[in-house]
Structure 1
Amino acid sequence: MITRLKLATATTLLATVALAGCATTPGANDTAVNTVGTATNIGMNVFKVAVDTTCRTEIEKQKAWRLAKVAMTAEQQEAAKTKVCGCVSEQAPQQVGIVEMTNAAIDSKYRNQLVAQVVTKSLQSCYSSMIK
Protein backbone atom coordinates (compact mmCIF):
# COMPACT_ATOMS: atom_id res chain seq x y z
CA MET A 1 0.00 0.00 0.00
CA ILE A 2 1.36 3.39 -0.85
CA THR A 3 1.98 5.81 1.95
CA ARG A 4 0.18 9.11 2.34
CA LEU A 5 3.40 10.92 1.47
CA LYS A 6 3.68 9.12 -1.85
CA LEU A 7 0.02 9.77 -2.57
CA ALA A 8 0.50 13.45 -1.76
CA THR A 9 3.59 13.54 -3.97
CA ALA A 10 1.70 11.91 -6.84
CA THR A 11 -1.19 14.33 -6.44
CA THR A 12 1.18 17.29 -6.37
CA LEU A 13 2.95 15.98 -9.46
CA LEU A 14 -0.35 15.63 -11.31
CA ALA A 15 -1.45 19.12 -10.29
CA THR A 16 1.89 20.58 -11.36
CA VAL A 17 1.72 18.90 -14.76
CA ALA A 18 -1.91 19.92 -15.22
CA LEU A 19 -1.22 23.53 -14.30
CA ALA A 20 2.05 23.80 -16.23
CA GLY A 21 0.15 24.57 -19.41
CA CYS A 22 -1.55 27.53 -17.74
CA ALA A 23 1.74 29.12 -16.73
CA THR A 24 3.44 29.03 -20.13
CA THR A 25 3.65 31.81 -22.67
CA PRO A 26 1.68 31.66 -25.92
CA GLY A 27 3.22 29.16 -28.30
CA ALA A 28 5.13 27.48 -25.47
CA ASN A 29 1.95 25.75 -24.37
CA ASP A 30 2.11 23.47 -27.42
CA THR A 31 5.56 22.33 -26.37
CA ALA A 32 4.45 21.73 -22.78
CA VAL A 33 1.43 19.74 -23.91
CA ASN A 34 3.54 17.72 -26.35
CA THR A 35 6.11 17.00 -23.63
CA VAL A 36 3.44 15.80 -21.20
CA GLY A 37 1.80 13.74 -23.97
CA THR A 38 5.12 12.18 -24.92
CA ALA A 39 5.90 11.35 -21.28
CA THR A 40 2.47 9.79 -20.90
CA ASN A 41 2.93 7.72 -24.06
CA ILE A 42 6.36 6.53 -22.93
CA GLY A 43 4.98 5.62 -19.51
CA MET A 44 2.08 3.72 -21.04
CA ASN A 45 4.39 1.86 -23.44
CA VAL A 46 6.63 0.82 -20.54
CA PHE A 47 3.52 -0.30 -18.66
CA LYS A 48 2.30 -2.33 -21.66
CA VAL A 49 5.70 -4.06 -21.95
CA ALA A 50 5.57 -4.96 -18.24
CA VAL A 51 2.03 -6.30 -18.70
CA ASP A 52 3.10 -8.38 -21.72
CA THR A 53 6.08 -9.83 -19.85
CA THR A 54 3.97 -10.70 -16.81
CA CYS A 55 1.28 -12.18 -19.04
CA ARG A 56 3.78 -14.49 -20.72
CA THR A 57 4.86 -15.75 -17.29
CA GLU A 58 1.33 -16.10 -15.93
CA ILE A 59 -0.08 -17.88 -18.98
CA GLU A 60 2.33 -20.76 -18.30
CA LYS A 61 0.63 -21.24 -14.91
CA GLN A 62 -2.84 -21.64 -16.47
CA LYS A 63 -4.07 -25.24 -16.51
CA ALA A 64 -5.95 -24.69 -19.78
CA TRP A 65 -2.77 -23.35 -21.41
CA ARG A 66 -0.68 -26.30 -20.23
CA LEU A 67 -3.22 -28.67 -21.75
CA ALA A 68 -3.61 -26.74 -25.01
CA LYS A 69 0.10 -26.27 -25.66
CA VAL A 70 0.69 -30.03 -25.74
CA ALA A 71 -0.95 -30.12 -29.17
CA MET A 72 0.99 -27.08 -30.48
CA THR A 73 4.36 -26.63 -32.07
CA ALA A 74 6.75 -24.09 -30.55
CA GLU A 75 5.80 -21.60 -33.27
CA GLN A 76 2.09 -22.08 -32.61
CA GLN A 77 2.66 -21.64 -28.88
CA GLU A 78 4.52 -18.38 -29.46
CA ALA A 79 1.84 -17.13 -31.85
CA ALA A 80 -0.89 -17.97 -29.33
CA LYS A 81 1.01 -16.27 -26.49
CA THR A 82 1.54 -13.21 -28.66
CA LYS A 83 -2.16 -13.05 -29.48
CA VAL A 84 -3.37 -13.55 -25.90
CA CYS A 85 -0.80 -11.28 -24.27
CA GLY A 86 -1.30 -8.69 -26.99
CA CYS A 87 -4.97 -8.65 -26.04
CA VAL A 88 -4.07 -8.28 -22.35
CA SER A 89 -1.63 -5.45 -23.15
CA GLU A 90 -4.22 -3.63 -25.24
CA GLN A 91 -6.80 -3.86 -22.44
CA ALA A 92 -4.33 -2.62 -19.82
CA PRO A 93 -4.68 1.14 -20.46
CA GLN A 94 -8.45 0.86 -20.14
CA GLN A 95 -8.07 -0.55 -16.62
CA VAL A 96 -5.81 2.10 -15.09
CA GLY A 97 -6.24 5.78 -14.49
CA ILE A 98 -3.75 8.63 -14.52
CA VAL A 99 -3.34 8.58 -10.73
CA GLU A 100 -2.56 4.85 -10.81
CA MET A 101 -0.05 5.38 -13.62
CA THR A 102 1.60 8.22 -11.71
CA ASN A 103 1.83 6.10 -8.58
CA ALA A 104 3.24 3.24 -10.66
CA ALA A 105 5.93 5.57 -12.01
CA ILE A 106 6.92 6.58 -8.48
CA ASP A 107 6.68 3.26 -6.65
CA SER A 108 8.04 0.05 -8.19
CA LYS A 109 6.18 -2.18 -5.71
CA TYR A 110 2.92 -0.48 -6.60
CA ARG A 111 3.75 -0.85 -10.31
CA ASN A 112 4.36 -4.58 -9.91
CA GLN A 113 1.07 -4.98 -8.03
CA LEU A 114 -0.80 -2.94 -10.64
CA VAL A 115 0.65 -4.98 -13.50
CA ALA A 116 -0.22 -8.26 -11.76
CA GLN A 117 -3.75 -6.99 -11.11
CA VAL A 118 -4.27 -5.96 -14.74
CA VAL A 119 -2.94 -9.28 -16.05
CA THR A 120 -5.13 -11.26 -13.66
CA LYS A 121 -8.25 -9.34 -14.73
CA SER A 122 -7.62 -9.71 -18.46
CA LEU A 123 -5.77 -12.98 -19.01
CA GLN A 124 -8.70 -15.35 -18.70
CA SER A 125 -11.03 -13.33 -20.92
CA CYS A 126 -8.34 -12.88 -23.60
CA TYR A 127 -7.42 -16.56 -23.47
CA SER A 128 -11.08 -17.57 -23.71
CA SER A 129 -11.65 -15.32 -26.72
CA MET A 130 -8.60 -16.84 -28.45
CA ILE A 131 -9.77 -20.44 -28.17
CA LYS A 132 -13.31 -19.72 -29.42
Structure 2
Amino acid sequence: MKKLIAVMAPLTLVLSACTTMGTSGTGTEPQSATQQLGTAAVKIAINAKCTTEINNVPAWQAATKIMTATQKQNIQSEICGCVSEKVPESVTAVDLATAALDPTARATIVSNVVSKTINACVQEAVR
Protein backbone atom coordinates (compact mmCIF):
# COMPACT_ATOMS: atom_id res chain seq x y z
CA MET A 1 0.00 0.00 0.00
CA LYS A 2 2.79 2.43 0.90
CA LYS A 3 4.61 1.59 -2.32
CA LEU A 4 1.46 2.30 -4.29
CA ILE A 5 1.07 5.68 -2.57
CA ALA A 6 4.73 6.46 -3.21
CA VAL A 7 4.25 5.75 -6.91
CA MET A 8 0.85 7.38 -7.28
CA ALA A 9 1.64 10.59 -5.38
CA PRO A 10 4.10 12.03 -7.91
CA LEU A 11 1.98 10.83 -10.82
CA THR A 12 -1.11 12.47 -9.38
CA LEU A 13 0.75 15.70 -8.75
CA VAL A 14 2.09 15.79 -12.29
CA LEU A 15 -1.27 15.00 -13.85
CA SER A 16 -3.12 17.48 -11.68
CA ALA A 17 -0.65 20.19 -12.69
CA CYS A 18 -1.83 19.74 -16.28
CA THR A 19 -5.40 20.58 -15.33
CA THR A 20 -6.21 24.26 -15.44
CA MET A 21 -9.72 24.42 -14.04
CA GLY A 22 -11.16 23.06 -10.83
CA THR A 23 -13.12 24.26 -7.87
CA SER A 24 -11.93 25.65 -4.60
CA GLY A 25 -14.89 24.36 -2.66
CA THR A 26 -17.61 26.72 -3.80
CA GLY A 27 -17.95 25.25 -7.25
CA THR A 28 -17.67 28.63 -8.94
CA GLU A 29 -14.04 29.75 -8.99
CA PRO A 30 -11.12 28.17 -10.80
CA GLN A 31 -8.28 26.74 -8.73
CA SER A 32 -4.74 27.82 -9.30
CA ALA A 33 -2.17 25.18 -10.21
CA THR A 34 -0.77 25.49 -6.69
CA GLN A 35 -4.22 24.85 -5.18
CA GLN A 36 -4.69 21.86 -7.47
CA LEU A 37 -1.35 20.45 -6.38
CA GLY A 38 -2.31 21.12 -2.78
CA THR A 39 -5.62 19.31 -3.24
CA ALA A 40 -3.92 16.28 -4.78
CA ALA A 41 -1.23 16.19 -2.11
CA VAL A 42 -3.76 16.57 0.70
CA LYS A 43 -6.07 13.87 -0.70
CA ILE A 44 -3.21 11.38 -0.97
CA ALA A 45 -1.98 12.21 2.53
CA ILE A 46 -5.53 12.06 3.91
CA ASN A 47 -6.05 8.59 2.48
CA ALA A 48 -2.84 7.35 4.11
CA LYS A 49 -3.61 9.06 7.44
CA CYS A 50 -7.19 7.78 7.41
CA THR A 51 -6.03 4.20 6.86
CA THR A 52 -3.61 4.50 9.77
CA GLU A 53 -6.23 6.07 12.03
CA ILE A 54 -8.83 3.42 11.25
CA ASN A 55 -6.39 0.59 11.86
CA ASN A 56 -5.54 2.02 15.28
CA VAL A 57 -9.14 2.12 16.51
CA PRO A 58 -9.90 -0.84 18.81
CA ALA A 59 -13.52 -1.04 17.59
CA TRP A 60 -12.31 -1.31 13.99
CA GLN A 61 -9.83 -4.01 14.94
CA ALA A 62 -12.57 -5.99 16.68
CA ALA A 63 -15.07 -5.55 13.85
CA THR A 64 -12.63 -6.57 11.15
CA LYS A 65 -11.75 -9.86 12.83
CA ILE A 66 -14.91 -11.37 11.37
CA MET A 67 -14.48 -9.77 7.93
CA THR A 68 -12.64 -11.12 4.96
CA ALA A 69 -9.65 -9.12 3.74
CA THR A 70 -11.71 -7.96 0.76
CA GLN A 71 -14.59 -6.77 2.94
CA LYS A 72 -12.20 -4.93 5.23
CA GLN A 73 -10.46 -3.27 2.26
CA ASN A 74 -13.75 -2.27 0.63
CA ILE A 75 -15.13 -0.64 3.77
CA GLN A 76 -11.82 1.03 4.54
CA SER A 77 -11.64 2.38 0.97
CA GLU A 78 -15.20 3.67 1.22
CA ILE A 79 -14.53 5.46 4.50
CA CYS A 80 -11.19 6.96 3.49
CA GLY A 81 -12.52 7.88 0.05
CA CYS A 82 -15.32 9.76 1.77
CA VAL A 83 -12.84 11.58 4.00
CA SER A 84 -10.66 12.64 1.05
CA GLU A 85 -13.71 13.74 -0.96
CA LYS A 86 -14.66 16.10 1.87
CA VAL A 87 -11.41 18.05 1.41
CA PRO A 88 -13.07 20.94 -0.48
CA GLU A 89 -15.63 21.30 2.32
CA SER A 90 -12.99 21.22 5.05
CA VAL A 91 -10.06 23.20 3.65
CA THR A 92 -9.74 26.73 2.32
CA ALA A 93 -8.04 27.63 -0.94
CA VAL A 94 -5.22 29.25 1.04
CA ASP A 95 -4.72 26.01 2.99
CA LEU A 96 -4.56 24.04 -0.26
CA ALA A 97 -1.94 26.35 -1.71
CA THR A 98 0.05 26.16 1.53
CA ALA A 99 -0.24 22.35 1.55
CA ALA A 100 1.31 22.18 -1.91
CA LEU A 101 4.39 24.03 -0.74
CA ASP A 102 4.85 23.17 2.95
CA PRO A 103 4.95 19.53 4.10
CA THR A 104 4.57 20.54 7.75
CA ALA A 105 1.44 22.56 7.02
CA ARG A 106 0.14 19.68 4.88
CA ALA A 107 0.53 17.28 7.81
CA THR A 108 -1.41 19.64 10.08
CA ILE A 109 -4.16 20.17 7.50
CA VAL A 110 -4.44 16.43 6.91
CA SER A 111 -4.68 15.69 10.60
CA ASN A 112 -7.43 18.29 11.04
CA VAL A 113 -9.46 17.07 8.05
CA VAL A 114 -9.27 13.43 9.12
CA SER A 115 -10.26 14.17 12.70
CA LYS A 116 -13.17 16.39 11.58
CA THR A 117 -14.62 14.05 8.98
CA ILE A 118 -13.79 10.45 9.78
CA ASN A 119 -16.71 9.92 12.19
CA ALA A 120 -19.23 11.23 9.66
CA CYS A 121 -17.79 8.99 6.98
CA VAL A 122 -17.88 5.94 9.26
CA GLN A 123 -21.54 6.64 9.94
CA GLU A 124 -22.23 6.95 6.19
CA ALA A 125 -20.45 3.65 5.52
CA VAL A 126 -22.39 1.85 8.25
CA ARG A 127 -25.76 2.91 6.79
Structures share fold, TM-score greater than 0.5: yes
Shift of 1:117: 0.8
Report how far residue 63 of structure 1 moved. 2.4
Q: Report the equivalent of 1:88.
A: 83
Find runs of 4+ consecutive structure 1 residues off by over 3 angstroms: 34-38
- Counterparts of 1:1-132 in structure 2, within 5 Å, are 34=20, 37=31, 39=33, 40-132=35-127
- What is the CA deviation profile of residues 10-30 of structure 1, one whole-angstrom value per residue up to 9, with x for unaligned ones? xxxxxxxxxxxxxxxxxxxxx
Cα RMSD after superposing both structures = 2.1
Work out the CA distance in 2 between the residues paired with 1:79 and 1:101: 28
- CA shift at 1:79, angstroms? 0.5
AA in 1 matched with 2:85: E
CA–CA distance in 2 between the matches of 1:109 and 1:42? 15
TM superposition score normalised by structure 1: 0.67
Q: Which runs of 5+ in 1 are unaligned?
A: 1-33
Amino acid at match of 2:58: K
Percentage of pairs with the same residue? 33
Count of paired positions: 100
Change (3 A) 1:121 1:37: closer
When normalised by structure 2's length, the TM-score is: 0.70
Question: Which protein is bigger by CA-based radius of gyration?
Answer: 1
